[in-house]
Structure 1
C-alpha cells in the first residue's frame, strides 16, 4: 500500500519535474508557433525567456524574430495543487536565413 502511494506521488510530481513544457509546431517555411507552460512561474519575463530559448533551438541558425506573444491557460496541474503559480505563453517565430 505504501509503495503504491509513493508511486502515485512520484507520478504526480513528475509533471513539475519536466517544467517547463515546451512545444513547437511548423506553420510554414521557417515559421513556427511556440508554446511554453510552467508549473512554477516567477513572472512573465521568465516565460518570455523560455520562448526565446525555444525559438533559438527551433531555428536552424539559432536566430529568429518572436511575434504575437500572448498568454494561454496553463495545462500544468495536479491533484495536490503543487502548481499554484502556473502560467503559459504562446508566440510565433520567423527564422532568419
Structure 2
C-alpha cells in the first residue's frame, strides 16, 4: 500500500510539471494587457519571450505590438523533488493594434 501511495504521489508531482508552461493574461486597459509566462523547464529567456509573443497573438487577434516592460519574476512552479530546477517566469505588457 505504501508503494502505491508513493507512486501516486510521484506521478502527481511530475504531472504538475507536464502542464508547462503556465500562461496568464490580464487586461489592464483598452487593448492593453499584462502577460505572464512561467515554465518548469526553461532553456533560456528567449523561450519565455517566445511564449509571451504567442500569448500576445492569442489575446490580440488583430495583431500585437512589441513586448514592453519585460520583467523577470521568481517562478511559481513547485519543486519538491527537484523536477523543476530550470524554472523561470517572465512578465511583459503588450498593446493590441
Q: Tell me the TM-score normalised to structure 1 length.
A: 0.92
Partner of 1:86: 87
What SS does structure 2 have at the residue aligned with 1:92? strand
1:59 counterpart = 2:90 = no
Q: Where do 1:3-82 residues align within 5 Å?
A: 3-61=4-62, 63-65=63-65, 66-82=67-83
Give, in whole Å, the separation in 2 of the partners of 1:22 and 1:45: 15
Give the drift of 1:87: 0.5
Q: Tell me the TM-score normalised to structure 2 length.
A: 0.92
Q: How many residues align?
A: 95
Q: Which runs of 4+ in 1 moved over 3 A?
A: none
Give, in whole Å, the separation in 2 of the partners of 1:52 and 1:60: 12
Give structure 1 stretches of 5+ with no counterpart.
Answer: none
Give the drift of 1:60: 2.3
Write out per-residue CA displacement over residues 9-67 of structure 1, whole angstroms, 9 at most, x where no aligned residue. Answer: 11111121011100001101111100000011111101100000010011122x11221
Give, in whole Å, the separation in 2 of the partners of 1:32 and 1:77: 26
Give, in whole Å, the separation in 2 of the partners of 1:49 and 1:16: 19
What SS does structure 1 have at the residue aligned with 2:82? coil
